[in-house]
């Protein structure tokens, strides 16, 4: 049974039993505490927790998920994958334990001809929470399971909670017995791979508090509305139904594995180490494909870093299989073809997906090449000293150059040297501890969303700001210091929830409005407006006059000048996006934006920097659109209707069934957007592109000033030009050539000064050679030269002196002050290096005394620091290290 068929049967089964079919949410989670959607229930958490009223009594979905906490286990077990699909059925007070157990058993054991999954009941075991006698009895009654195949387990495995005060409850898991050839007898309690968990039923029935750990909490009572949350692992069922050994061999994954094996000249099943690498490749390519399809692009932080890590693990695994060159162009199309049946977007957006993946591969292959050069030097040093590659070098390669430790170990092993894993492991642990502390600090800064639960239950906040800037409402809720309050007094910073508001809450790239909230006897300055949970608008305010209390009349007043600037910037973002696509082509997708009054920032998918001519063309097209005074029309319609009209749905954005479509000049710019906009393009005023930069291997960023801010910037530049023309006494048309002439004269003068400085230093060669010392069997030139033109001058003199030392075992160490900073240069002769002296060690030692760092090759190295007064001390330390 193909994976897509299991997917279809699941949704069909539950739809026929009254469940609303909910499409998979994006892999990018709405939950601020989660980087990705990590489980099928994540999109339903607001309903399951009661934070937001459920729009339907029961639902079903097949949800895309990403988990990387067990990434090291990928390929080694039959069930660990970074991308997986979770089939779920959910009840929000509709049915409970009996319904959930009955549905599960019916779907699993009904014949394939009847629309079921056709499992033999004799192959199925279940676990229940050891104190849940009700669930045990229901399994006996509904499924007819004997007691020995219903195993009771403790809270650590069969009790669910969020880890925080709130809803919780026992769970029941269903396992498939693969047979005695896969392990020991004894059921799931043995925790053996023979028994594969395929379905987990969570019975959310209690409220808990005083949560100290997963197993230590206090049950305070039953929930008023009991919920069901279940999840069946699609890949796990697929590998069982397809009769293969693991999830990497199912129809959606195996084709990539086979193509990788073909490229590497390997036969899957012959060598376990190679098999693990092939399974990692197959899993990670699919994960990369699906993440990029949901708008994630490689970067050095957040979600982009996780994607980058997955893609680089593919490249590393291919290299360890013997494939040194690019392979993504062979692997990604195979994964696309395997996944497009369930996710047509991977075919529709494959041009964007492939360009992002291929660019990352190209970048990392260059990184590997440069890392290998550094590692080769470290290996040679280790050979000469009969030592291991330094752990800090291995960490530097890993942390700074993205060079995996696995490859460092392999190359070192081939060269016959070890790697100091102890130091490397210590440095890695220190990095993890810092990251964990940072994450914990950030997590601690987030508000407890449970405070908004009752407020959201009062209804959805109505936004009236599309049509008015002033609106009268009433105060439904007050939050002070994270806790509900009955009032907020003058001087307090508080959060206000109103029934309606004309103030825009930050979303869709548009910053929140500025303004005030006023009422009988109080006034509050609006500091921020956010939507902490779907449908609830929260105004962070500073009470400047009086006291605001619950149920008080409150009037929201938007700062009209700020809103005008914000709408100019938001409409300007759409205009710049359309201009980018006009110039660069339809593959230039928006990949993120931010706009506020007077300013816009737009990220877009493109690999190469924009030339000055291209930036000017984009700016000109944008301003021509403004001059054309295009009508700006906003319409609300069904999502499918909007897409049929060609409205752009932007990567990473999430849309409901009803959407707003914003047209500028008809189809010239047509996007899904809930933000506020001008009524005609001329109202934008002016676009002034002020910068363009890289924000990743496949993303660029343009920044622009808009409207009055754009004019002010042009006016400031005009003033600068006037000052220059006046000071240089040239007309404006000659200003550029005059500045170029002055620059050329300056460069010529600097070059002449540098030549004179080099000549002056060269004249000191005889004097410095005459002062050479015999230290530890070496002829050593050790000198401080005071102020020098540059480090290059000092390096040139050191090389001249080394040449004069000839075949003698010798070293040259020169120090000086360049541009106010101390610099030390070390050079060694071949005979000096044979005696064990390394220039890099000498430079590093001197730099340490100078308060900086340094290093280099054994024959020539450089160091620097911050304290020129310690040059004499640095040279003395180097002399002592040589035996003087």
Q: pLDDT at position 418, please?
A: 85
Kindly report the three-state secondary structure assignment for every residue of 596-628. Answer: ECCEEEEEEECCCCCCHHHHHHHHHHHHHHHHC
End-to-end CA distance of the chain: 79
Q: Answer for the pair 672, 579: CB distance below 8 angstroms, yes or no.
A: no
- Lowest-confidence segment of 143-147, 226-230, 282-286, 815-819 by average pLDDT: 815-819
pLDDT surpassing 50 at residue 447: no
CA atoms in the 13 A half-sphere facing the CB of 173: 24
Q: pLDDT at position 145, please?
A: 95
Give backbone dihedrals phi and psi of 603, rounded to 5 degrees, phi first: -95, 140
Distances (CA, A) of 212 to 164, 208, 217, 873: 9, 11, 6, 56
Distance CA 506, CA 531 (A): 7
Distance CA 858, CA 880 (A): 19
- Lowest-confidence segment of 372-381, 460-469, 735-744, 780-789 by average pLDDT: 372-381
- Lowest-confidence segment of 243-247, 311-315, 375-379 by average pLDDT: 375-379
The reply to whether CATH 3.30.930.10 applies to domain 3-244 is yes
Q: pLDDT at position 82, please?
A: 92
Question: How many other CB atoms are found less than 10 A from the CB of residue 439?
Answer: 10
Question: How large is the average pLDDT for residues 614-618?
Answer: 96
Q: pLDDT at position 443, please?
A: 40
832 or 439: which carries more pLDDT confidence? 832
CATH fold for domain 450-558: Elongation Factor Tu (Ef-tu); domain 3 (2.40.30)
596: burial class by Cβ within 10 Å (0-12, 13-18, 19+)? buried
Average pLDDT, the chain: 90
Q: pLDDT at position 76, please?
A: 83
What are the tens digits of pLDDT across the range 525-548? Answer: 999 999 988 899 999 999 999 999
To the question of whether residue 677 is assigned a binding role by annotation, the answer is yes
Q: Answer for the pair 837, 802: CB distance below 8 angstroms, yes or no.
A: no
Band (pLDDT 50/70/90 cuts) for residue 381 is confident
Structure tokens at 277: 């690498």
Which 3 state secondary structure label does DSSP give 576? helix
* pTM of the model as a whole: 0.70
Band (pLDDT 50/70/90 cuts) for residue 498 is very high
Give residue 396's Cα distance to chain centre: 22
Distance CA 402, CA 424 (A): 14
Band (pLDDT 50/70/90 cuts) for residue 549 is very high
Place of tokens 């548009």: 510
Q: Which residues contact 628 (CB under 8 A, 6 or more apart)?
A: 665, 681, 682
pLDDT surpassing 70 at residue 725: yes
Q: Which residues contact 296 (CB under 8 A, 6 or more apart)?
A: 27, 28, 303, 304, 307, 652
Band (pLDDT 50/70/90 cuts) for residue 446 is very low
Q: pLDDT at position 689, please?
A: 95
- Lowest-confidence segment of 186-200, 384-398, 788-802, 849-863 by average pLDDT: 384-398
Q: Answer for the pair 677, 632: CB distance below 8 angstroms, yes or no.
A: yes
Q: Are strands 58-66 and 699-706 parallel, antiparallel or unpaired?
A: unpaired
Band (pLDDT 50/70/90 cuts) for residue 415 is confident
Structure tokens at 561: 């000048």
Band (pLDDT 50/70/90 cuts) for residue 224 is confident
Distance CA 632, CA 628 (A): 12
To the question of whether residue 570 is assigned a binding role by annotation, the answer is yes
Question: Any idea where the domains of the chain sit in the sequence?
Answer: 3-244, 254-443, 450-558, 565-715, 764-881
Architecture of domain 565-715: 2-Layer Sandwich (3.30)
To the question of whether residue 673 is assigned a binding role by annotation, the answer is yes
Distance CA 307, CA 361 (A): 12
Distances (CA, A) of 149 to 91, 123, 144, 185, 198: 26, 10, 10, 12, 15
What are the tens digits of pLDDT across the range 684-695? Answer: 999 999 999 988
Nearest to 857 by CA among 804, 805, 799, 803: 799
- Lowest-confidence segment of 18-27, 436-445, 660-669, 802-811 by average pLDDT: 436-445
Q: pLDDT at position 439, please?
A: 45
Q: pLDDT at position 448, please?
A: 60
Distance CA 755, CA 743 (A): 18
Q: pLDDT at position 445, please?
A: 39
Question: How large is the average pLDDT for residues 487-510?
Answer: 94
Band (pLDDT 50/70/90 cuts) for residue 266 is very high
What are the tens digits of pLDDT across the range 574-606? Answer: 999 999 999 999 888 888 899 999 999 999 988
To the question of whether residue 589 is assigned a binding role by annotation, the answer is no
Structure tokens at 612: 């000055």
Nearest to 389 by CA among 403, 375, 405: 375
Whole-number percent of the chain with pLDDT over 70? 96
Structure tokens at 72: 């090291």
Q: pLDDT at position 58, please?
A: 96
What are the tens digits of pLDDT across the range 850-873? Answer: 988 887 888 999 998 989 999 999
What are the tens digits of pLDDT across the range 768-798? Answer: 888 889 988 899 999 998 888 888 888 888 9
pLDDT surpassing 70 at residue 435: no
Q: Which residues contact 86 (CB under 8 A, 6 or more apart)?
A: 39, 40, 62, 63, 65, 231, 232, 233, 234
Q: pLDDT at position 69, please?
A: 80
Q: Answer for the pair 412, 419: CB distance below 8 angstroms, yes or no.
A: yes
What are the tens digits of pLDDT across the range 160-179? Answer: 987 778 889 999 999 999 99
Band (pLDDT 50/70/90 cuts) for residue 442 is very low
Structure tokens at 100: 């959930």
Question: How large is the average pLDDT for residues 678-703?
Answer: 91
Using only C-alpha atoms, what is the Rg of the chain? 34
What are the tens digits of pLDDT across the range 78-119? Answer: 778 899 999 999 999 999 999 999 999 999 999 999 999 999
Distances (CA, A) of 198 to 125, 138, 193, 838: 10, 19, 12, 61
Nearest to 705 by CA among 693, 687, 728: 687
Per-range mean pLDDT, top range of 382-386, 395-399, 500-504: 500-504
Q: pLDDT at position 884, please?
A: 72
pLDDT surpassing 50 at residue 800: yes
Question: How large is the average pLDDT for residues 671-691?
Answer: 95
CA atoms in the 13 A half-sphere facing the CB of 46: 22
371 or 440: which carries more pLDDT confidence? 371
Question: Spelled out in words, what is the top-level CATH class assigned to the domain 764-881?
Answer: alpha beta
Distance CA 559, CA 573 (A): 21
Band (pLDDT 50/70/90 cuts) for residue 651 is low
State the angle between helix axes of 302-320 and 405-414 in degrees (0 to 180), rounded to the nearest 10: 20
Question: How large is the average pLDDT for residues 2-7?
Answer: 94
């Amino acid at each position: 049974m193909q994976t897509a068929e299991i997917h279809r049967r699941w949704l069909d089964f539950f739809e026929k039993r009254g469940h609303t079919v909910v499409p998979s949410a994006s892999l990018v989670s709405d939950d601020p505490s989660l980087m990705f959607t990590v489980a099928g229930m994540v999109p339903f958490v607001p309903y399951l927790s009661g934070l937001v009223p459920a729009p339907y009594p029961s639902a079903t979905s097949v949800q895309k998920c990403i988990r990387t906490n067990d990434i090291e286990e990928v390929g080694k077990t039959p069930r660990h994958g970074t991308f997986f699909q979770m089939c779920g059925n959910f009840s929000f007070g509709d049915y409970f334990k009996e319904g959930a157990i009955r549905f599960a058993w019916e779907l699993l054991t009904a014949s394939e001809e009847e629309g079921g999954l056709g499992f033999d009941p004799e192959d199925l075991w279940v676990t229940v929470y050891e104190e849940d006698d009700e669930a045990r009895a229901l399994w006996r009654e509904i499924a007819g399971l004997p007691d020995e195949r219903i195993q009771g387990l403790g809270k650590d495995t069969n009790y669910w909670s969020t880890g925080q005060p709130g809803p919780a409850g026992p769970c029941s898991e269903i396992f498939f017995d693969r047979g005695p050839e896969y392990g020991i007898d004894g059921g799931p309690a043995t925790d053996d791979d023979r028994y594969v968990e395929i379905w987990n039923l969570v019975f959310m029935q209690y409220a808990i508090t005083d949560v100290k750990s997963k197993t230590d909490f206090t049950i305070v009572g039953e929930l008023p509305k009991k919920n069901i949350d279940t999840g069946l692992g699609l890949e796990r069922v697929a590998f069982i139904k397809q009769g293969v050994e693991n999830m990497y061999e199912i129809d959606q994954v195996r084709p990539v594995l086979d193509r990788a094996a073909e490229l590497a000249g390997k036969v899957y099943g012959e060598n376990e180490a190679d098999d693990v690498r092939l399974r990692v490749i197959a899993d990670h390519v699919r994960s990369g494909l699906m993440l990029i399809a949901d708008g994630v692009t490689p970067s050095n932080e957040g979600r982009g870093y996780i994607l980058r890590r997955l893609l680089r693990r593919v490249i590393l695994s291919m290299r360890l299989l013997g494939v040194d060159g690019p392979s993504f162009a062979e692997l990604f199309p195979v994964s696309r073809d395997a996944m497009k049946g369930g996710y047509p977007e991977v075919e529709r957006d494959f041009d964007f997906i492939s360009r992002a993946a291929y660019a990352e591969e190209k970048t990392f292959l260059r990184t590997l090449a440069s890392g290998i050069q550094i590692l080769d030097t470290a290996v040679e040093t280790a050979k000469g000293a009969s030592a291991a590659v330094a752990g800090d070098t291995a960490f530097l390669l890993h942390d700074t150059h993205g060079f995996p430790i696995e490859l460092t170990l392999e190359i070192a092993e081939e060269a016959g040297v070890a790697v100091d894993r102890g130091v490397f492991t210590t440095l890695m642990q220190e990095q993890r501890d810092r990251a964990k502390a940072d994450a914990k600090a950030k997590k601690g800064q987030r508000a407890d969303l449970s405070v908004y639960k009752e407020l959201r239950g009062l209804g959805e906040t109505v936004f009236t700001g599309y049509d008015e800037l002033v609106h009268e409402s009433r105060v439904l809720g007050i939050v002070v210091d994270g806790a509900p309050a009955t009032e907020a007094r003058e001087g307090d910073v508080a959060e206000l929830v109103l029934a309606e508001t004309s103030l825009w809450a930050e979303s869709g790239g548009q910053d929140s409005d500025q303004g005030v909230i006023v009422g009988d006897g109080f006034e509050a300055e609006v500091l921020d407006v956010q939507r902490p949970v779907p449908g609830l608008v929260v105004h962070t305010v500073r009470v400047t006059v009086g006291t605001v209390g619950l149920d008080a009349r409150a009037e929201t007043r938007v700062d009209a000048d700020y809103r005008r600037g914000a709408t100019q910037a938001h409409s300007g973002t759409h205009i710049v996006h359309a201009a980018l696509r006009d110039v660069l082509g339809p593959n230039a997708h928006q990949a993120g934006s931010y706009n506020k009054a007077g300013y816009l920032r737009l990220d877009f998918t493109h690999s190469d920097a924009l030339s000055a001519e291209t930036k000017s063309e984009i700016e000109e097209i944008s301003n021509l659109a403004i001059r054309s005074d295009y009508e700006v029309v906003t319409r609300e319609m069904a999502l499918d209707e909007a897409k049929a009209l060609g409205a752009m749905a932007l990567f990473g954005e999430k849309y409901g069934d009803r959407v707003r479509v914003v047209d500028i000049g008809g189809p010239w710019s047509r996007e899904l957007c809930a933000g506020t906009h001008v009524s005609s393009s001329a109202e934008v005023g002016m676009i002034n592109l002020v910068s363009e930069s890289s924000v990743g291997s496949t993303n660029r960023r343009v920044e622009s000033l808009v409207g009055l801010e754009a004019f002010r910037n042009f006016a400031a530049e005009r003033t600068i030009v006037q000052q220059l023309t006046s000071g240089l006494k040239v007309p404006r048309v000659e200003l550029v050539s005059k500045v170029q002439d002055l620059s050329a004269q300056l460069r010529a003068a600097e070059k002449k000064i540098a030549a004179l400085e080099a000549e002056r230093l060269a004249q000191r060669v005889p004097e410095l050679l005459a002062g050479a010392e015999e230290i530890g069997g070496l002829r050593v030139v050790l000198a401080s030269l005071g102020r020098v033109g540059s480090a290059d001058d000092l390096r040139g003199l050191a090389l001249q002196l080394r040449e004069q030392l000839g075949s003698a075992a010798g070293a040259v160490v020169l120090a000086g002050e360049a541009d106010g900073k101390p610099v030390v240069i070390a050079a060694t002769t071949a005979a000096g290096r044979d005696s064990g002296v390394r220039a890099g060690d000498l430079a590093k030692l001197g730099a340490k005394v100078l308060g900086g760092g340094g290093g280099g090759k054994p024959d020539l190295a450089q160091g620097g620091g911050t304290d020129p007064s310690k040059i004499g001390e640095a040279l003395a330390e180097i002399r002592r290290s040589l035996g003087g």
